[in-house]
Amino acid sequence: MDRCRSQSLRFGTQVFTETVNKVDFSSTPFKITTDSKTVVADTVVVATGAVAKRLHFSGSDTFWNRGISACAVCDGAAPIFRNKPLAVIGGGDSAMEEANFLTKYGSKVYIIHRRDTFRASKIMQNRALTNPKIEVLWNSVTEEAYGERSLTGLKVRNMVTDEVSDLKVSGLFFAIGHEPATKFLDGQLELDSDGYVLTKPGTTQTSVRGVFAAGDVQDKKYRQAITAAGTGSFSCFVIFVHLQF
């Protein structure tokens, strides 16, 4: 990414390290406002991404990045997780996928789910439920994470019996979805029911002419670096054509 930044600077890009507070897409040129300045532009690419949702309970912040993560694919192969018992919180396709992935590295994987059924697709459920290294803790919620320098266990409460058990794990992964960074748009672009920017099929064009969206802010299906790069480069090409003609 440093190389990408250097390349853009070499071609004359101005980079402002600012937090955008609001935008005005009601007329051109568009206005993008931060705490210290307002930038005007004929075209805008919204590429603010999406953030993995986290649960907050005792110890969850203390052991964040010290055994607690929201990305098994990113962190699951780390030495601190290898051949250790691990846990995943969630009940959707992402939770099933992450639990199966973690069985490559952990000695055992627990799926902690607050209900007695998964909402994941049947095929993803089957992969998890038939994996001998995966155990499901139904009707359960995590109430505490504990350890010393890193995570060593969880306090898990069964919502049916109200019994709290001690679960010895070295890693906990949240797999409860993502939240797109679109609040600052303040309704000026059309969003779907989950808050992702809607684009015209096969393009990166949003509901406002001249405003494009790229990456995870408009992609809740793949959420991969390669697809983000693809939509980003496509947006730049469209903008180039737009400015030329």
CA quadruple 44, 50, 56, 62: dihedral, nearest 10: -90
Q: Which of 61, 74, 166, 192 is catalytic?
A: 74
Given 4, 42, 61, 71, the catalytic residue:
71
Rounded CA separation 181/97 (Å): 24
Taken in order 197, 202, 203, 204, the sign of the CA dihedral is positive
Secondary structure of 51-74 as H, E, C letters: EECCCCCECCCCCECCCEECCHHH
Contacts of 170 (CB under 8 A, 6+ apart): 67, 80, 81, 84, 85, 86, 150, 151, 152
75 is catalytic: yes
Known catalytic residues are 71, 74-75
